[in-house]
Structure 1
């Protein structure tokens, strides 16, 4: 039996997709459910809250639909066919989905554009998840197109998936958009861009995306006669540009991306056609890093996955302690691949690494929560940050990336041993081969690290990796970087860092976003949400004014507003504080690590 869905996009003004499910021969009782989360985004999001108007018919008769819990329904036919009659009548179920979430995780529909993930629209049929699933898109406004990596079926706007898992792993972009194509690694790729400014340089981004994809395919599959094909038939990037925004979500053969319009390269940029590595704007570089990150996930997490995700349980949280590897190691390689693709130079790359180091060192929570705990608690902490997050947690993205860096440098530093050609690259490639036979556990990862570290040092390297992941001590990066010709420099910290505060400039002044544990701000009695009004008797509007008045250099009276009450506090003097930057000392030592001369 084929499970068929029809998605009607006519109702753009009400922002509602109308979905119909049809089964040719259904049993008298059929259970239906909608996922509560989407793979790649580890938070229960309760997609069913946007479902309404669920109705069912069997052979033209209306039948009962009983809700069993927050995301599960049961179609109950009170007048089923006779048990002696093997022919069962068709079942048709319809519902509506409100779609006005601009993120990459859910669904959107208005007069300009449509977008959806299957986890938001498609109710699963219990017992039929492994059957073929078909999708028909109808009601598109005139001129709209469809972009997706799902296989096209026998007619326009019709698509087919081998099972429910594949059905919900192909997002759809609907509307008018720019699309470009290239082929690398023997596979066609498509870049779809919507929402760009008129002067956006789509072709340049297309060429840069091709460089990223070619570099990553060589990394995973080699090149020349011995190269293997990537694990997809075709790949699609769905990029939505907005005024302000950033995010991405990986899928088996595509990714949905959101970025700021200002991050796109422009055709009117001076020297746009000849810009070399290092000349990219910060926003443009951020966009390329996002593309690189999500594409790397095609292998690391979509195919190399933990046992907790094989298969996914879409009705509840799927806990794992390995997000530091799947997200953190991907975060290490995303920028490294930009360098190896020739899109940035070594100084720019070291600047990105410096930024990650500062982000981790400026997080007191790194001394409280281990990476393994951070991974496990993603469901309740990472996606729900508050003013105390910086004090109680550490990001498995940023510190995970630094663990990957430390492990890579440690393996590369094993000179004179049987592992003289060792690197994290080789471990990752071995994991790819190992993943063909099943999920990857921490024990499997450690075994491959040990194998590539060599018999003499395997126990030492594995013990160190375990301490980095399950402990809370800082990583030995200064010495590891020094060995590859990169100096760890300590520079003077900015005022908010000296005070142990996260501050935001607003049109009316300065607002406290977070108070870091054991800092001067905490000693002064400041709280998140406080508004700085005056320092040493002077009205404050900008942070630079606080520095000019000698904040942190000497104790000063501070006037703040909290819940419309005025409080007089004393901002103490603080010792000189430092931040970190990396300086290139010997480029000749970097070639093997960075993959560039």
Structure 2
């Protein structure tokens, strides 16, 4: 008998309950079990144990006593030498990539949400039995786990070398669409739940294949010989198409994705739209993580501690550098052109420049604080923190352009550094010093000054200087009214609802606050321009004419407030462009 064996049954679809039976072949006299409080890749304590119920334990016909130790840990009193069987249910109604979901249309779960960890036996072999859903005979199952004995629909027995592998292979259940392709000789499968009838699966497969081949070529070179060097022998993409949603979570040989149905390619629309390009960028991002965070990982993740936060200052590298390369791989796969790539780069720069928190928090601090700030965003988030995804990607850009400038003759790029880090650290954890050491070994000089300025301080990045040196024109264009006023808003149904007020802005000076509903305005210092209902911020120029003074009518806690607001002169933001004759520019082949 395998040391640890789980049987997972979709027991009650309408009640959203999975039933789990856990058999421990050789329990300790006091066998401790626990459910993780977080899932690797999503840096927030989510308390998965809140969804666990009806836990019981038996050895043969005898009930074993259970004592709860804390919020997610239990001690089982066992007789030595006799298997113990735990039975429990998990409520699954979170339609995200992080936890578990079950209804009459679809099932999904991550092991961190449903599989209790058997303390002291984490490194023993683990098996997972997926039980077919009798009420839904057309359902299938898909997972990155290694099959032992399964049927044509994917139900049956799977094997994991240890607990970490078990919970790093999510499971998809339902009547999903499925397609396959080979990338450098490595089998890949794509399953999609919730797609519209017009969904063009063949185009999604073809485009994803190009992304995977570009990523494998990045790390290992071209062709089947490169495929033999990948850390995965097969790969599974699981995509949940919904009315409104976006996100992804990387795993060792799979990824869970969620997107809007309308972002999927359609047979009736052969041209790639912005939503589909965004989806391809997400696919590229999560697939790149197969190397950069799942294998090449920070020392804090050398062995996951599932009981608490696992702090690291390196998310700017593992998430930020991955964010830099996700769009570059789309370009290398010829899924976007140079112009589109430059637009995406400009969007990332604008996001950072429009975040006052970049003056408050370094990107290294943002990485460490992810557990309490990035994943717990509120109205003050843009004023207090900076995204380690977006600014981290710009740190990667600066490093890449700096290398290309200084070492043009040698042909050094950030690609060279990343592949060097793979050789240096793939067998063990990576530290910031490893990046510095790799840069010094490659270039013969210290990069400590750049690391301090770009990563550990709140200084502005030298973006304009580096971009201009590579032939990218940096011009000013008029920013939108929301940015001009220093507001982030929700607009809909003729209403302007304030989400956030940016630090040092005109809106802050006027006294606007998150949660305010901006109803209307009096134009002019004395209202001489009339009173108007406001439906969208972009209506302001037409309503105000040449005036810059107005009185905003705001609803706050059912009270009507009149706030004096001075609209700033036209603010500008960067617009990046490439010379019409690219051959005359300095921009390198990316």
**TM tier relative to shorter chain:** over 0.9
What corresponds to 1:85 in structure 2? none
1:557 match: 551
Which residue does 1:284 correspond to in 2?
276
8 A contact 1:106–1:119 mirrored in 2? yes
Q: Does structure 2 retain, via aligned residues, the 8 Å contact 1:34–1:120?
A: yes
Q: 1:588 is matched with which residue: 579, 583, 586?
A: 583
Q: State the alpha-carbon separation in 2 of the partners of residues 553 and 533 from structure 1.
A: 19
Task: Supply the distance in 2 between the matched residues of 1:344 and 1:22 (Cα, whole angstroms).
Answer: 50
Alpha-carbon distance in structure 1 between the residues aligned to 2:562 and 2:357: 29
Q: Which residue of 2 aligns with 1:241?
A: 241
| Greater displacement, 462-471 / 250-259 | 462-471
Match of 1:173? 172
Aligned partner (choices 100, 108, 117) of residue 115 of structure 1? 108
Give the C-alpha shift of residue 139 in structure 1. Answer: 4.2
* Alignment partners' CA distance in 1, 2:588 and 2:398: 12
CA distance in 1, matches of 2:423, 2:583: 32
Match among 64, 83, 92 for residue 99 of structure 1: 92
Instruction: Map 1:84-95 to 2 at 5 A.
Output: 88-95=81-88
Q: 2 CA distance for matches of 1:415 and 1:322?
A: 26
Question: Matches of 2:300 and 2:420 in 1, distance apart?
Answer: 21
Q: Which moved more, 1:170-179 or 1:26-35?
A: 26-35
* Cα deviations by residue, 1:121-180 (Å, 9 ceiling, x for unpaired): 000111111111011111412111011110001343210101001000000000101111
Report the Cα distance in structure 1 between the residues aligned to 2:416 and 2:451, rounded to whole angstroms: 16
* 1:463 and 2:449 matched: yes
Maintained 8 Å contact 2:13/2:102: yes
Greater Cα offset, 292-301 or 505-514? 505-514
Distance 2:261 2:53 in 1: 34
User: Judging changes above 3 Å, is the alpha-carbon distance between structure 1 residues 348 and 31 closer, same or farther for their aligned structure 2 residues?
Assistant: same
Q: Does 1:5 align with 2:6?
A: yes
Unaligned runs of 5+ in 2: 523-530
Query: How many equivalent pairs are there?
Result: 573
Q: Structure 1: where are the runs of 5+ without partners?
A: 82-87
TM-score by length of 1: 0.94
* 2:25 aligned partner: 24
Aligned 8 A contact 2:93 2:101 in 1: yes
* d(CA) in 1 for partners of 2:144, 2:545: 55
| Aligned counterpart in structure 1 of residue 431 of structure 2, from 409, 428, 441 | 441
Distance in 2 of aligned mates of 1:66 and 1:213: 48
The separation in 1 between residues aligned to 2:223 and 2:584, in whole angstroms, is 27
Deviations 1:381-430 (A, max 9, x none): 0011100100000000000000000100000001477xx31110000011
CA deviations on 1:220-256 (whole Å, 9 max, x unpaired) are 0012586352111100000110001000000000000
**Is the CA contact (8 Å cut-off) linking 2:184 and 2:224 kept in structure 1?**
no
Partner in structure 2 of residue 383 of structure 1 = 375
Query: Alignment partner for residue 362 of structure 1, among 354, 366, 379?
Result: 354
Q: Could you say which residue in structure 1 is the equivalent of 2:265?
A: 265
What is the rounded CA distance, in whole Å, between the counterparts of 2:539 and 2:167 in structure 1? 52
Distance in 2, Cα, partners of 1:357 & 1:551? 31
Query: Are the counterparts in 2 of residues 330 and 401 from structure 1 also a CA contact under 8 Å?
Result: yes
Indicate the SS of the match to 2:11: coil
Question: What is the match of residue 143 of structure 1?
Answer: 138
CA distance in 2, matches of 1:130, 1:308: 19
Q: Secondary structure at the residue paired with 2:552? A: strand
1:27 deviates by 2.9
Question: What is the distance in 1 between the residues matched to 2:588 and 2:171?
Answer: 38
- Pick one of 314, 331, 334 that aligns with 2:323: 331
